[in-house]
Chains A and B, each alone.
Chain A
């Protein structure tokens, strides 16, 4: 940065400042903006707010976007990136949620000591950085706000084990994550808000070690009273986690859980080794990737298979993410008549989306597939998965 040349922040980048005084709290992202840039980004928003004009966003040529938002009148978040505006807004939601999750709402609302807050905010960097890097990963939950799920083959058995764990840990909130995706959970776990579900999954996924015990605030359900998030690795790729009160202690909980899960260990192993998030459902050969969102059950499943010649696995995920974001922000938001389906043909791929009252399905296919076939494949897949998996 500086005078050597303009620093361009096209990857998502995040700035956090106090809303009243404009003191920078932190800045995350691949490239750090120079102080003058940071100052003017903050300044324009604060000036506008003083004049009764709240600056929301700003678009540059080439799609670069800056989004401003003030949370609870105390913290201003600024996101810079090359995304749709809704995507960046969602990123801000997630980041703010992560800050509340770690520090609690009170500490962020009433800032008494800025320097102390700065230090404490370092605790949430790992989570925020993960959210910023998310678009390289294989998880779409942070974007869709429907937690990434996996449907194990013998769900009933695992459900019993989770319910048993919940009783053992004396917690109504308990779940099993397989490969970082929600496999089964208690009723109450599903009643958490989408943001909480996504953040808790992310937090569990990135926490290392065989077992951990960390205090968390729930951004919507419990923003001021901390709970304990206990998480244990049952075997590689399978984690169980629960939200507890003061008891039980970590060691105590570990013992109880072993008892619960020992009988179903074989089922668990099969679940982990399962290749696809869709369990027993076989995919049509035309498709390369799909994401299915079930609004009724607040779940999403996604699946990708690399194309042998042209598309790598990672690129498939990227295409899926782009296409979902496009459909979500541009197509299914059209409101004169109700949009039901959409498709897009590009040089790289064909993509198709079906949008019903209960489901949204986006699929990616190689460009060789004829569009009418793709339509058939998409609608067929939607009925297939939703009936087979009960989503």
Chain B
């Protein structure tokens, strides 16, 4: 990728545009002054480099400081900062750094000296530096000197402009901005406003240089206008900063204009060939809808595409205040503003009344209600807090009623983590644009998850998302112990806050933040966690909501920096009383998330308490950001090992459902199935002159089980033993089916590459099911105390392939949702009314320990009229374990060997320690 695209985007898209003027200056000076106060001389040296020609270039090598490659200004306020830097450029850069490691060590000292002299004017410079650090870092950093190696090119970009929209947007942008900013979305900072005195730099500034892009604007959406480009002409009319406003004002209505831009491209890779450059631009895979949505683009279009389905979120006040002059005063917040949601808004009286009344009718406050809106069934979830009520309406076809409560609970917790309380989230008017973005993401993920994924070929596993996201746990990836130790060591090193020369201690200052802990994700899997469970869940809810985990697993993230104040629920709720003699400190908490390629590290910081008291709005501290980046760079050396683990054969071994279908239409499958049938690997079957495998009637299979059950003693243990011995006999007979080898997925004979012995070993050590044949299809094991769960990885699933297997997994998740709902519902009520308990209500069957469903599946669209479709039966079982550690275990296996889920869970959880 020749041109690295660097897009700044802001989580709170609209607010950002307000930042442009005075606000930004204020914040910049505030944060810089704070930095100079607290970190003194430890201020990263690259801040000075930014001033150098307005471009960032910094090279200093000392022990373990490769993170300098990432030395790019972090955003100064609470913004998500994305860039899509191509990784190769990074490595190039690193190599260069290593190569040029002879740079004299003394230079930083000199710089420091120089900086002390310059300190007075630094605030202003830094501000300017930040403005200009926006150009793609990967381009600029590659240049030993700013101009050399950069050559100008002309390119043409078509942009759709609509002056009619101006009315709406100008109110957001505030007065004083020209049409260039409001209509086109290009931020141009004239030379005089920068306070530059250098006449050499003034001249080019008369040209219309793109200094920034307004999120959501036509220029931003076009993808082709880059910061640093110069607008030369519009529809072949030459434009400068002088005449641009006039030219733009001539546009009468919605139209497309052709912009001619002068752009810069790096030399050396393509030799500056324009056509090649263009081709590479086109060849670049389209940015996924998800990323665009995170950037704040496309929100309107995406929202339009779901407008036909009724959905709404409202925050209503239960207090009637007759003195208020506001219209619709009881509505604090509402999203979206579509027709269907207006209809739901119109009946908000129902929600308010039900919320008020249901307590007296059923003895429990309201959880949900269902209503029929036209032909759409809508489920409405409620959350009452104080005098306010949060109402979320979702189409029933997307979210089943029994998972609605969990969905609402999660969104409420996310909001509380982000804003402290629902009141503070909804009752501040200026947060509305951010909430719009928040709920746009929320509804998009629930209503049309396909649009957000890049590879939308497979039907989305909606129940899977609902089930796995609803678990109070994070997906965990077990690593080989030696790698795990290394990862943990690196994380611990970081968490010790021993930043050497960079740390506050070095200067005898009080620390800015205490690192409470951090957790590390690789490709959406949690690989290390040093956070308490509740904090981990808070963090993961945030990640989940912003789809950051799928983002890092789908595409390499050039750089991701998230910084915001958070309100960890466990800490905020004051659980201090639980441990005698220990009181939680009442500090402020900040979440720092840094993503680099497939790694994502989340750090929870605390100010106050041991660290210094935080005052005002705090931006990210460069030192901490850099340290996380350094940690991630350090971890990259382990990437290959982690990747290897991901690609390794699944542990425990999984079978593909298709292998068990007799007489499948596919020749390979039928051969496999034939092999299964011919061998008679199922102990019971071979012992008895067994019925045909193709017999799918459950009764026949039950007969078999019955036989086993009766032949062996009725005692469970004895039966198990006999099965076990059965299995071991079969083992020695060399089962022919091997675990699929992932490394030769595309080769014609995928399961033939491992030697017999090797595969035998793998087979025996990692098989979860009893009996000779591996009958395990899928599993989910949740460690309740640690807040983690394990399940087969995505790559394991894709290795299995199969045509009915994905559907089986979907059904598994669907069923698990229902099983888990039963578990939850049957739990003895905590903190509920005595009256309710006395009435014996709730769950008549008592607490559920284990619940299983036997399913029959057959291939979809079976066309053969002569033969009935082949069928296969499999179990989905959920088990709630309280001893020795609380766990929830969900498993799916073929219905040929009776399994004991408790045992399976034990075998699976063995050695699973965080």
Contacts and interface: CB of A to CB of B under 8 A. Distances in A.
Contacts of A59: 366-369, 401
A62 B372 contact: no
Given A9-B361, A331-B818, A48 B368 contact: no
Interface stretch (A35-43, A158-166, A176-184, A270-278): A35-43
B857 A6 contact: no
Contact of A62 (B347, B354, B841): B841
A52 B836 contact: no
Contact of B357 (A37, A346, A383): A37
Interface in B875-893: none
B320 interface: no
Interface residues on A, range: 35 or more
B849 A80 contact: no
Interface string B683-704: 0000000000000001100110
A315 to B, nearest CB: 10
B362 A8 contact: yes
B845 A323 contact: yes
Contacts of A330: 818, 821-822
A383 B716 CA distance: 25
A345 interface: yes
Nearest to A330: B818
A54 B843 CA distance: 29
Contacts of A321: 844
B856 A337 contact: yes
Contacts of A8: 360-363, 833, 835-836, 839
A349 B845 contact: yes
Interface string B539-583: 000000000000000000000000000000000000000000000
B853 interface: yes
A228 interface: no
Given A9-B362, A341-B698, A375-B702, A63 B825 contact: yes
B373 A343 contact: no
A59 B377 CA distance: 15
Contact of B814 (A51, A334, A354): A334
A134 to B, nearest CB: 15
B367 A60 contact: yes
Interface string A184-205: 0000000000000000000000
A331 B846 CA distance: 17
Nearest to B463: A336
Contacts of B836: 8, 10, 62
A5 B602 CA distance: 49
Nearest to B878: A344
A156 interface: no
A71 interface: no
B811 interface: yes
A64 B829 CA distance: 13
A79 B815 CA distance: 29
Q: Is the interface of A mostly helix, strand, loop or mixed?
A: mixed
Interface in A342-391: 342-349, 351, 354, 356, 370-373, 375-376, 378-380, 382-383
Nearest to B712: A372
Contacts of B347: 47-48, 51, 53
B878 to A, nearest CB: 10
Contacts of B368: 58-59
A93 interface: no
Contact of A64 (B362, B373, B808): B362
B393 to A, nearest CB: 10
Contacts of A319: 844-845
Contacts of B898: 371-372, 375
A356 B698 contact: yes
A11 interface: yes
B854 A340 contact: yes
Contacts of B835: 8
Interface in A46-70: 47-48, 51-66
B364 interface: yes
B646 interface: no
A80 B361 contact: yes
Contacts of B365: 60-61
Contacts of B843: 63, 322
B344 interface: yes
B343 A53 contact: yes
B359 A60 contact: yes
A376 B705 CA distance: 6
B361 A345 contact: no
Contact of A61 (B699, B832, B844, B854): B832
B714 interface: yes
Contacts of B131: none
A318 interface: yes
A7 interface: yes
Nearest to B810: A336
B847 interface: yes
A323 B843 CA distance: 10
Given A8-B361, A336-B810, A55 B847 contact: no
A58 B363 contact: no
B841 A346 contact: no
Of the listed residues B363, B706, B842, the one surrounded by the most CB atoms of chain A closer than 10 A to its CB is: B363
A370 to B, nearest CB: 5
Given A349-B845, A375-B705, A58 B343 contact: no
A63 B808 CA distance: 30
Nearest to B825: A63
A58 B379 CA distance: 9
Contacts of B360: 6-8, 37
Nearest to A354: B698
A334 B817 CA distance: 11
Given A346-B845, A349-B845, A351-B845, A52 B719 contact: no
A356 B808 CA distance: 20
Of the listed residues B361, B719, B843, B851, the one surrounded by the most CB atoms of chain A closer than 10 A to its CB is: B361
Interface string A307-342: 000000000001101110010001100101111111
Contacts of A56: 369-372, 377
Contacts of A54: 371-373
B350 interface: yes
A57 B699 contact: no
B845 A52 contact: no
A346 B847 contact: yes
Given A61-B367, A383-B699, A370 B372 contact: no
A122 B349 CA distance: 34
A378 B701 CA distance: 12
B435 interface: no
A63 B402 CA distance: 11
A337 B857 CA distance: 5
A64 B361 contact: yes
Interface in B312-349: 343-344, 346-347, 349
A40 B373 contact: no
B709 interface: yes
A82 interface: yes
Given A60-B363, A331-B853, A340-B873, 14 more contacts: A37-B357, A53-B346, A53-B371, A58-B366, A60-B359, A330-B818, A330-B822, A331-B818, A338-B856, A341-B702, A342-B851, A356-B699, A370-B715, A382-B699
Interface of B: 343-344, 346-347, 349-350, 353-354, 356-374, 377, 401, 698-699, 702-703, 705-706, 708-710, 714-716, 719, 807-808, 810-811, 814-815, 818, 821-822, 825-826, 829, 832-833, 835-836, 839, 841-857, 873, 898
14 contacts: A6-B363, A9-B363, A48-B371, A54-B372, A56-B377, A61-B364, A82-B839, A319-B845, A334-B814, A334-B815, A345-B848, A347-B846, A372-B708, A372-B709
Q: Which 10 A-B pairs have the closest CB atoms?
A: A64-B362, A8-B363, A376-B706, A61-B364, A379-B702, A322-B844, A62-B364, A60-B364, A82-B841, A60-B362
